[in-house]
Every structure is written in structure tokens, then in C-alpha cells.
């Protein structure tokens, strides 16, 4: 990782700070910690955005840990996360105490420095809503180009020269010439401004959506399987085995379930793109009427009738019905995912080849999980999502009753 520019920016931002609070302690937060410690700064405090096992962390209401003499360094790359953290911090500390490691002017400078890759369409969401199946399906059409690696994580790594190099390598001109070129990557979900600034105003946007209650349960299982977040091990250590009761606590504690309040994210894209450049695809429709829906998608992304493929069925990929067999297997899964994330930043081709190795290991470390969520939890989540569902129905100009909910 090229850290020179980070060190230069940290020197500028922290020169007059008596105490530095780094939030959150993700990849970039840890990088800042290492660099600042290397610079001899010992007056560091680290905050994250979770509260587990009697360990109080950011954000909480009040408390002695809000330092009036500190600089709060927001070390989040994603624009949506930066915005959310800033809004939370401003409840407790003065705006003058806040500084962003990343900023819009840095994005513009990187774009100017490295140039752009041009796409015709981009599917920006949502996770666990059929995006991988859509990726596989569209790649079957010889008139469409999608890269081998579905998720480049480009938006969160736009600051790195390697991210720009890898994105260009993912779209070689000799393979994209004469084809409709696109990307399918839910990681862009919270990056509306970045997408607009980089890919431009003519981009056609797609969003795959699914019954949010089922999507949340699928995301929960995927997180248990990947073990990428430290907090997953809190659940495994506490409960020993994955169960509907674990999901109940996940629903109570985790903010990831908010991801499936679909219009909260689509609305942000509508600030930059007109409605006719935003197409929402209902996953249940793709399953029930695969060819009809795929014909609509192919027409929308710019394919003439003679260049469209037929689909008798939608590929069922990455269904998320497997979980780690035990805690040890979860640690193995986490190690694999961590190695892949590091590789993804430096070598996109090696990352693609590692996916098949990961899948083979997962056959050993994971097992089928088919336990349904409790009915009480299902009802609670349906109530939680209902306002968002109503807003989505207004956007779609159709009812989802009988597909997502019953009254």
C-alpha cells in the first residue's frame, strides 16, 4: 500500500493536535495508527462503532471519553460511512475538532492523475439480492463485457495507484471493444458521488432488490461464513453454534440490516442521476420470470434485440446457505478472506485465481445451514422495513404485497 501520501496528509491534519482520536479502527484506521506511532505520536485514542461484551466503543451518548482537546480523525474511505460518522460525532464534539483523512478534493486529484475507465452500466446493489447471479447471467452474452472479478472495491480504494491500475486491467480495450461494458458491485452502494464523479452522468444504473427480511438473514449467514469482521467471533464465542437466537442478537446489535432499507441508498443516487437512468430489478421477478426480466435488463443497458441472449433459468450463485462448522473453521475462513482482500489491492488477476482455492477450502470448513428465523423475528423485521418498502413501491409504481409481505 502506498502510504507516502497518507503520512503527508496526517502531518498536515495533526500538526497542532494535542490528542488524536482515530475512528473507526478499520483498515485505514489501523494504517493511520501505525504511521502516527512511527512518527512518534503516543497521544492516540482508538474508537470503533460497536458495543460488545461490556466494552463501550463509539458511538455512545455522553461519557468521559469525549475529549475537548482532541482532534477526531475520521479514517473511513467510503463517502457514506464518512458522512454517517461525522454526523454522529457532531452530536458530541465541535465541528472544528473533526478532520477527514479522505476528502472530495483528494478523489478529484486521483481521477485527474490516473484518468477514467468508461462504463455503459453499473449495478450498485444490493448484497444478497442476486447480483452474483446477474453477473454470471450477463457474462453469458458475448455482446456484454463484465470483468472476471465481480467486486473490485475500487470506490473504497480510489486513493491507491494500484486500485486504478487494477480497474484498467479489469477492462482491457481488446476485450471491451464493440461491447456493452459494465460492472456489478454492491460495494458502490454508499458511493453515489464518487460513482458520478468518476463514471460520469450518462451511466445507466441498476439495483437488485429482494425481500429485505430474507436478504438480512442471508447477509447474516454470509458474515458468519466469511468471519471477516472481528465482531463475528463475539457471537461464535458466546453461542458456540450458529442458531436463530444468534440472528436475533445480530438484528438487535448490527446496523448492516439497515442496508436493506433500499430507498435510503437509491435516493442518494437520485441526487446525481435522473429517474430514467435508475432501474430497479426485483430478485423474485428474476427467479419467476428469468427470460422476461433479463430481456428488459439487456434492453435497458443498451443491447439491440438481435444482440440479446435468452435465459430459461437464472444461475443460482452465492446463495449464502453455508456457515462455519465451528470456531476454528471460522478463523480459517477469516484468514482466507483477509489474504484475499490484501491480494485484491495489489493483483486483481491473482485475486481471481484465489477465489477457486477459497471455494475448495470452504467445502471443508463450512456446512449447510437451513434453520429458519423465528416467526417473531420475521414479524419484527417486516415492521422495521415496511416504511422503506412503501417508498420503494411508490418508486416502482407497483405493489409488493404477496411477494414480500402479507397483510
pLDDT digits (tens, 9 = 90+) for 236-251: 888 888 899 999 999 9
Nearest residue to 85 (alpha-carbon basis) of 22, 132, 32, 133? 22
| Region 1-12 average pLDDT | 81
Q: Return the pLDDT at 73.
A: 92
What does the alpha-carbon distance between residue 287 and residue 209 come to, in Å, rounded to a whole number?
12
pLDDT band at 60 (very low <50, low <70, confident <90, very high): very low
- pLDDT confidence of residue 2: 59
State the cell numbers at 121: 452500466
What per-residue confidence (pLDDT) applies to 64?
52
Walk across the sheet containing 204-209 and list its strands: 144-145, 180-184, 121-125, 204-209, 278-282
Q: What is the mean pLDDT of residues 120-133?
A: 94
Strand partners, 46: 22
Across the chain, mean pLDDT equals 87
d(CA 25, CA 64): 20
- Percentage above 90 pLDDT, the chain: 51
HEC string of 64-108 equals: CCCCCCEEEEECCCCHHHHHHHHHHHCCCCCHHHEEECCCHHHHH
Cross-strand partners of 350: none
At 317 the pLDDT is 64
Most confident segment among 62-66, 69-73, 97-101? 97-101
Query: Does residue 54 carry a pLDDT above 60?
Result: no
- Phi first, then psi: what are they for 62, rounded to 5°? 70, -160
Contact 247, 217 (CB under 8 A): yes
The full length of the chain comes to: 407
- Do residues 109 and 147 make contact, with C-beta atoms less than 8 angstroms apart? no
Q: How far apart are CA 247 and CA 18, in angstroms?
A: 42
HEC profile of 364-397: HHEEECCCCCCHHHHHHHHHHHHHHHHHHHHHHC
| CA-to-CA separations, 385 to 378, 392, 394, 406, in angstroms, rounded | 11, 11, 15, 13
Return the pLDDT at 270: 97
pLDDT of residue 307: 96
Q: What is the model's pTM?
A: 0.85
Query: Which residue would you say has higher pLDDT here, 17 or 121?
Result: 121
**Structure confidence by residue, pLDDT tens digits, 343-362:** 765 666 676 677 778 888 88
Predicted confidence at residue 88, as pLDDT, reads: 81
Amino acid at each position: 500500500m502506498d502510504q507516502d501520501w497518507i503520512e503527508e496528509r496526517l502531518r498536515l491534519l495533526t500538526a497542532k493536535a494535542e490528542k488524536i482520536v482515530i475512528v473507526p479502527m478499520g483498515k485505514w484506521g489501523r494504517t493511520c495508527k501505525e504511521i502516527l506511532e512511527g512518527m512518534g505520536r503516543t497521544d492516540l485514542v482508538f474508537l470503533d462503532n460497536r458495543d460488545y461484551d461490556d466494552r463501550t466503543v463509539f458511538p455512545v451518548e455522553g461519557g468521559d471519553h469525549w475529549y475537548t482537546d482532541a482532534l477526531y480523525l475520521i479514517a473511513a474511505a467510503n463517502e457514506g460511512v464518512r458522512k454517517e460518522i461525522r454526523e454522529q460525532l457532531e452530536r458530541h464534539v465541535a465541528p472544528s475538532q473533526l478532520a477527514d483523512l479522505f476528502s472530495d478534493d483528494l478523489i478529484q486529484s486521483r481521477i485527474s492523475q490516473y484518468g477514467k475507465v468508461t462504463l455503459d452500466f453499473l449495478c450498485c446493489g444490493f448484497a444478497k439480492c442476486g447480483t452474483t447471479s446477474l453477473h454470471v447471467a450477463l457474462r453469458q452474452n458475448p455482446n456484454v463485457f463484465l470483468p472476471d472479478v465481480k467486486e473490485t472495491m475500487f470506490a473504497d480504494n480510489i486513493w491507491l495507484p494500484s486500485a486504478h491500475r487494477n480497474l484498467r486491467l479489469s477492462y482491457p480495450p481488446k476485450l471491451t471493444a464493440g461491447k456493452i461494458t459494465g460492472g456489478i458491485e454492491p460495494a458502490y452502494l454508499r458511493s453515489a458521488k464518487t460513482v458520478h464523479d468518476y463514471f460520469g452522468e450518462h451511466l445507466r444504473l441498476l439495483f437488485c432488490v429482494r425481500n429485505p427480511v430474507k436478504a438480512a438473514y442471508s447477509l447474516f449467514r454470509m458474515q458468519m461464513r466469511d468471519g471477516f469482521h472481528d465482531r463475528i467471533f463475539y457471537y461464535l464465542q458466546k453461542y458456540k453454534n450458529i442458531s436463530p437466537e444468534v440472528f436475533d442478537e445480530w438484528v438487535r446489535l448490527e446496523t448492516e440490516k439497515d442496508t436493506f432499507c433500499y430507498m435510503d441508498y437509491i435516493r442518494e443516487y437520485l441526487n446525481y442521476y435522473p429517474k430514467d437512468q435508475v432501474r430497479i430489478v426485483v430478485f423474485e421477478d428474476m427467479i419467476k420470470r428469468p427470460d422476461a426480466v433479463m430481456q428488459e435488463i439487456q434492453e435497458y443497458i443498451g443491447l439491440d434485440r438481435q444482440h440479446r441472449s435468452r435465459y430459461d433459468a437464472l444461475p443460482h450463485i452465492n446463495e449464502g446457505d453455508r456457515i462455519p462448522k465451528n470456531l476454528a473453521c471460522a478463523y480459517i475462513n477469516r484468514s482466507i478472506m483477509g489474504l484475499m482482500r490484501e491480494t485484491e489491492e495489489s493483483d486483481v488477476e491473482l485475486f481471481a485465481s484465489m477465489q477457486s482455492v477459497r471455494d475448495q477450502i470452504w467445502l471443508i470448513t463450512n456446512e449447510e445451514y437451513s434453520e429458519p428465523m423465528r416467526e417473531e423475528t420475521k414479524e419484527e423485521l417486516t415492521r422495521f422495513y415496511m416504511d422503506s418498502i412503501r417508498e420503494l413501491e411508490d418508486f416502482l409504481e407497483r405493489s409488493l404485497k404477496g411477494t414480500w409481505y402479507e397483510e
